[in-house]
Amino acid sequence: MQIAAIPFEVIQWDTVERTVHAGETGTASWRTQQFGDIRVRFVEYSAGYFADHWCSKGHVLLCLSGKLITELADGRRFTLTPGTSYQVGDKAEAHRSSSPQGATLFIVD
């Protein structure tokens, strides 16, 4: 990731407009800021959220609250709790998320 030509800025996330994305079950609420090719998101998954797709986009993801289960296409599963993170490159390993209790995440991609 090349971070260039982005001036210093403080973001008050609760003032950023929310978009809601339906999962196979539940919803994901995104607050998104775009800086050139870099997308920064504050994401909230509802309880019972299950993604409706496999994702091949690269991310750096930090779990802020709740519990996130990430499944890789090869069957491996990882559980993230507050203070844990993962990173994956573009097209490296397809993954999808679910959250039985709901979760709040900070994601850069």
Q: For 65-87, write each residue's pLDDT tens digit.
A: 999 999 999 999 999 999 999 99
Indicate the DSSP class of residue 90: T
CB 66 within 8 A of CB 101: yes
The boundaries of the domain holding residue 43 are 18-108
Q: Which two tokens stand for residue 8?
A: 């210093």
Q: pLDDT-derived band of residue 101, with 50, 70 and 90 as boundaries? A: very high
Place of tokens 């609760």: 14
How far from each other are the two terminal CA atoms of the chain, in whole angstroms?
9
What integer pLDDT is reported at residue 4 of this predicted model?
Answer: 82
- Which stretch, 7-11, 33-37, 66-70, has highest mean pLDDT? 66-70
What integer pLDDT is reported at residue 1 of this predicted model?
Answer: 67
Question: Residue 62 sits in a domain of what CATH number?
Answer: 2.60.120.10
Average pLDDT over residues 1-10: 85
| Sign of the torsion formed by the C-alpha atoms of 71, 77, 83 and 85 | negative
Domain count, the chain: 1
Q: Is there a domain that residue 86 lies in?
A: yes
What integer pLDDT is reported at residue 109 of this predicted model?
Answer: 94
What integer pLDDT is reported at residue 49 of this predicted model?
Answer: 98
